[in-house]
Amino acid sequence: MAEHAADMGATVRVAPREIHDLVYRAARIAGCDPGTAERIAENVTYAEIHHGAAVRAFCEAIEALDLPASAWATAPDALLAAEVAARTGGRASAAFDSPVPLAAIAVTLRHCLERGVAPIGIHGRDRGDLAVSAVEMRTVDQEVEGAGGALVAGTGRDAHRLGVEVDRLLFSGLEAAAAGFLVAEATLDELDLDG
């Protein structure tokens, strides 16, 4: 709550879906198609929970970049292409046109891992704003992955149970960036009246 002790300072505690919904809307307004916006939202939400600094990275991106043409939209595709190549060749790499924050690819990497392909050199302790210019990928032992998956699930549950601390100003910025997705009630009422 607004007056809750945790929310009186520089941070605000939010539910994961709030991050997801706001990032999705902001990405749409920035010109992304629904599928790409959804993927960006999933990446940022996952990265904020597991790595932190993801909302910050996204807010900086929508200020500075043409989002649909940026690596935020395209880097996951490069990763998926590398994953498919690694599944047949054992190893492959994805290089991005420009460095992309881990926040833009975190859940995509997770999905690759679930299918048996892991990134080399990217770790759970890395922050969401870590700049990544290329990712080396290799097939992995599913049993090793299983143990890691349990840890990730635990962190996710805590985030859903307790919420996620996000910088208050950044969250306000995100809300402002997403607000354009909504259409004024008065406009809709006018359309209804006009038939």
Binding residues for another protein, rule: CB under 8 A, are 1-4, 6-7, 12-18, 28-29, 31-36, 38-39, 68, 73-74, 77-78, 80-81, 83-84, 87, 111, 114-115, 149, 153, 156-157, 160-163, 179-185, 187-188, 191, 194
Determine the 3-state secondary structure of 134 from DSSP: strand
Give yes or no for a contact between 70 and 27, defined as CB atoms under 8 angstroms apart.
no
Tokens 């259409």 -> residue: 183
Tokens 């679930």 -> residue: 114
- 25 vs 129, beta carbon nearer another protein: 25
Minimum distance from residue 3 beta carbon to another protein (Å): 6
Between CA 34 and CA 68 the distance in angstroms is: 11
How many other C-beta atoms are found inside a 10 Å radius of the C-beta of residue 21?
16
Minimum distance from residue 66 beta carbon to another protein (Å): 14
- 83 vs 129, beta carbon nearer another protein: 83
- 59 vs 117, beta carbon nearer another protein: 117
How many other C-beta atoms are found inside a 10 Å radius of the C-beta of residue 46?
26
